[in-house]
Structure 1
Amino acid sequence: MAEDKYPLHESIFRGDLKRVSKLLRTEDIAKKDVHGNTPLHLAVMLGRKECVHLLLAHGAPVKVKNGQGWSPLAEAISYGDRQTIFSLLRKLKQQSREALETRRPALLTALKDLGDFYLEIKWDFHSWVPLVSRILPSDVCKIYKKGSSIRMDTTLVGFNDRKWERGDITFIFNGELKPQNSLTVLDNKLRVYQTIRYEETEQEMEDEVDILMSSDIVAAQMPTKLITFSRARCGWLFKGDKTEMIGEFKADFYSIHGLTLESRKRREHLSLEDLQKNKALLENLTKGNLMDCGEVQRRQSLPPPAPPDESWEDYLASTPGKPPLFGREQMRKSSSKTFRASIAMSDDFPMSVKDLLDVCEVIAPFKQFNKLREFMQSKLPQGFPVKLEIPVFPTVTAKVTFQQFHWDNNIPKHKFVIPQNYDEDPYRFPDL
């Protein structure tokens, strides 16, 4: 019987904490039921706080989506219990650090085996929204790699869908240091530096919870399986395959098809005041005006939604992927934006895509590089993508050009050292 397949789920549904505790010794804590819900999903949506904390203590995965595409954290935001949101957020960050540490030895070995080099990457951001493109930033990132250390010089301090900040900063990764000391950011104008904190402070976590509770719940993805490529053509009368020089690299151009950014939002947890405030922020961004969000107000837990009328048997018997509603009546909105884009592939580029992915993993704290890494994990045409376009937000696309590269065994060591006349400022870059 189906009821017998999910004893841990059933115990959570019934609120049988004693049986949950017993089953955690034998059952798969990450198992999904007929609707794609893990035990943690179900505990969150039903408001079983004790079960949530027990599951988290036993390492239940937080970065996992159910059949409707939502994570336990998303469901917790909808339910509205502040302590549950905080606990899930803290565990999510802990699990992310642990995953990176598992990968770290292999990553450092790959960096050491890769030759030392200098690389220049140009970023041009543009938008289909009127006026926004005028004020979007551009940037040239200069990347130096020596041994297991990486240095990146950039003028783009921070960039998201609401604000951006220009400056003169240097990012240094030193693979020989302990994880909590390996990432440093320098502000070369103010002559200060900040070690990127390995763990957020309690205050920073509380601030992030406030932002989550006052914003739309967003699930965005760029499905790479749907992306295809075809050779780009040029010419008037006699069309031929488009080939051009990108810097010093001869490249074949391809058109990208099926490049789509899918976005889904939920806002049943927001008040009318929240909705009006968020709408004003978006309207000002569209007009090219940046708003100061001001100090985030501490959010209180919402009154819990009504308990479900359905039984465990009703839940299992419902159509797979279409479970009965638990929690608040959902306010959902979906959008899909298809982007016209191109990519230039070169066989002359000295670095492989795999090598670049290792470098991008190190500098993933910079959001645009994480997007680049995600895209380059799709199946690309032959060669190295010396020029490509990727969506970074639903309204913003980045054109990325690898305009310089050369191997260099003589990069000086001092480039990876904090200058002596720089002072430490642990709060210079609050978003890192």
Structure 2
Amino acid sequence: MSSSVCNKEDDSFPLHECVFVGDVRKLSSLLRYNDITQKDKHGNTALHLAIMLGRKECVQLLLAHGAPVKVKNLAGWSPLAEAISYGDRQTISSLVRKLKQQAREQMDRRRPDLIKALAKIKDFYMELKWDFHSWVPLVSRILPSDVCKIYKAGSGIRLDTTLVDFTDMKWERGDISFIFQGEKPPGEALTVLDNKAKVYQRVRYEETENEIEDEVDILMSSDILAAQMSTKGILFSRAQSGWIFREDRKETVAGLYKSDIYTITGLVLESRKRREHLSTDDLQKNKAIIESLTKGNTQNLDTNGEPTRRASLNPPPESGVDWETYISSPPGQYPSLGRELVYKESSRNFRATIAMSDEFPLSVDMLLNVLEVIAPFKHFAKLRQFVAMKLPKGFPVKIDIPILPTVTAKITFQKFDFRENILPDMFIIPEDYTEDPLRFPDL
């Protein structure tokens, strides 16, 4: 690697240039007074570049100084995605650990405000109906529906559901309760009950070393996926009714809430997939490996009973791209710095409706506080992401949102009561339940 000193005065991305030329000593000194979160014209942070160029010392130095891991470049890729492509196991493992640490730190910072916000809301009971649909013939017939019952008392929330989780056209039915006790320490605040099996699992605050290494194996064996709801061109317009005399459409949702109906256009679900790090042999083997790991089974064991871990890939050839060529390229169109991409993308436009009511007793901000607590359920995280957008006036009592490229959900707030008599026992694990830390492996 070159040890040429990067020139802070001549360029507005000094950390990036130091990484590019591999000047670790200069990078270390510049980190004291430069913004480690800065993105260059391609949306890359210094950490992105360090990973794509295989500058391992720079990667570790940047992580030690708190470089953000959950950040995307103009193409929508995070440092972790680039690390999986490059294929160095130690780097991937370091990023997974740092990503989890940063997520915990962010939640710890927000936690006091979240608990205060919950405590300010009067205690209530709410019902939320989920109906899942697909444009794919016959799929809608097998998709689930669910009525979630949500109880809120003080800084505690309980959610009862029959739908455990919903990902990749797979779902699990059951009789599940999710309990958040805001007054408890972070490691004890979130609990999931399986009311049929009479077991409970605490949603763990930190993973074990084995769990992190299992996750690294899964990442190294899987397609690199990026999916997001793009709302750049989203428009809300009043839905119309009537053939001759057109008027704004209104509806009384759940027989309770008079609502204005809006049509949503410009909502796009973008899905991208990369697999340049996978061989043909990988693609054949990986389905079985991933299924085994996601069910909590360790794959192959060596003679000492330890799992055999996936080895680092041979690094890609040096790109030969210099800093000037990189930084002078049009935004997002720089030459490849790592492996040549094996890439597929798709996007689907969604046209949906939303019913906004001034009569619902909860505010959108209050709803976001409640949904943040329930975020381990992925379909609730999608709802939170949608409600966080700039919506028309009122409260969204009925919404259509995309959950997967082929699946949408219609969510209806069909019941809401402020209640003063919610029993504290609802937020306590029953004495006859036993702990099963592996009941819900994805939580």
TM-score (norm 1): 0.93
Aligned partner of 2:304 in structure 1 is none
CA apart distance, 1:318:
2.4
Structure 1 residues 150-207: Cα deviation after superposition (integer angstroms, max 9, x where no partner): 0000011122115211100100000000111100000000101111000111122112
The answer to whether the 8 Å contact 1:214/1:274 transfers is yes
Structure 1 residues 11-40: Cα deviation after superposition (integer angstroms, max 9, x where no partner): 222222222222222222112223222111
**Count of matched residue pairs:** 423
Aligned partner of 1:273 in structure 2 is 281
1:338 and 2:345 equivalent? no
SS of the counterpart of 1:340? strand
Q: Which moved more, 1:237-246 or 1:80-89?
A: 237-246
**Equivalent position to 1:324, from 314, 318, 335:** 335
Distance, in Å, in 2 between the alignment partners of 1:92 and 1:331 is 25
Aligned partner of 1:284 in structure 2 is none
Distance, in Å, in 2 between the alignment partners of 1:76 and 1:235 is 55
> One-letter code of the match for 1:262?
E
Q: Structure 2: which 5+ residue stretches go unaligned? A: 1-6, 301-308
**Equivalent position to 1:25, from 32, 43, 49:** 32
> One-letter code of the match for 1:176?
E
Matches of residues 32-431 of structure 1 in structure 2 within 5 Å?
32-247=39-254, 248-276=256-284, 298-431=309-442
Distance, in Å, in 2 between the alignment partners of 1:414 and 1:220 is 40
The answer to whether the 8 Å contact 1:243/1:250 transfers is yes
Aligned partner of 2:4 in structure 1 is none
Structure 1 residues 179-237: Cα deviation after superposition (integer angstroms, max 9, x where no partner): 11100000000101111000111122112112211222122221223211122223445
The answer to whether the 8 Å contact 2:192/2:201 transfers is yes
Structure 1 residues 396-424: Cα deviation after superposition (integer angstroms, max 9, x where no partner): 11110100001001111111111111111
Structure 1 residues 39-70: Cα deviation after superposition (integer angstroms, max 9, x where no partner): 11111001111211111111011111123221
Distance, in Å, in 1 between the alignment partners of 2:68 and 2:295 is 35
Structure 1 residues 370-404: Cα deviation after superposition (integer angstroms, max 9, x where no partner): 11111111121221111110001111111101000
Distance, in Å, in 2 between the alignment partners of 1:220 and 1:393 is 9
1:359 and 1:6, CA in 2 relative to 1: closer, same or farther beyond 3 A? same
Distance, in Å, in 1 between the alignment partners of 2:209 and 2:422 is 40
The answer to whether the 8 Å contact 2:296/2:438 transfers is no
The answer to whether the 8 Å contact 1:343/1:385 transfers is yes
Distance, in Å, in 1 between the alignment partners of 2:51 and 2:206 is 24
> One-letter code of the match for 2:140?
S
Structure 1 residues 338-357: Cα deviation after superposition (integer angstroms, max 9, x where no partner): 11211111111111111101
The answer to whether the 8 Å contact 1:225/1:378 transfers is no
The answer to whether the 8 Å contact 1:77/1:212 transfers is yes
Distance, in Å, in 2 between the alignment partners of 1:145 and 1:252 is 28
The answer to whether the 8 Å contact 1:210/1:296 transfers is no
Structure 1 residues 86-131: Cα deviation after superposition (integer angstroms, max 9, x where no partner): 1111101110111111111111111011100000000111112233
SS of the counterpart of 2:129? strand
Distance, in Å, in 1 between the alignment partners of 2:146 and 2:285 is 31
The answer to whether the 8 Å contact 1:224/1:375 transfers is no
Structure 1 residues 75-95: Cα deviation after superposition (integer angstroms, max 9, x where no partner): 001101111111111101110
1:74 and 1:112, CA in 2 relative to 1: closer, same or farther beyond 3 A? same
The answer to whether the 8 Å contact 1:310/1:324 transfers is yes
> One-letter code of the match for 1:384?
F
CA apart distance, 1:238:
4.0
Distance, in Å, in 1 between the alignment partners of 2:127 and 2:285 is 40
SS of the counterpart of 1:244? strand
> One-letter code of the match for 2:392?
P
Distance, in Å, in 2 between the alignment partners of 1:316 and 1:240 is 54
SS of the counterpart of 2:11? helix
TM-score (norm 2): 0.91
Distance, in Å, in 1 between the alignment partners of 2:296 and 2:274 is 21
The answer to whether the 8 Å contact 1:207/1:296 transfers is no
- Aligned residues: percent identity? 66
SS of the counterpart of 1:339? strand
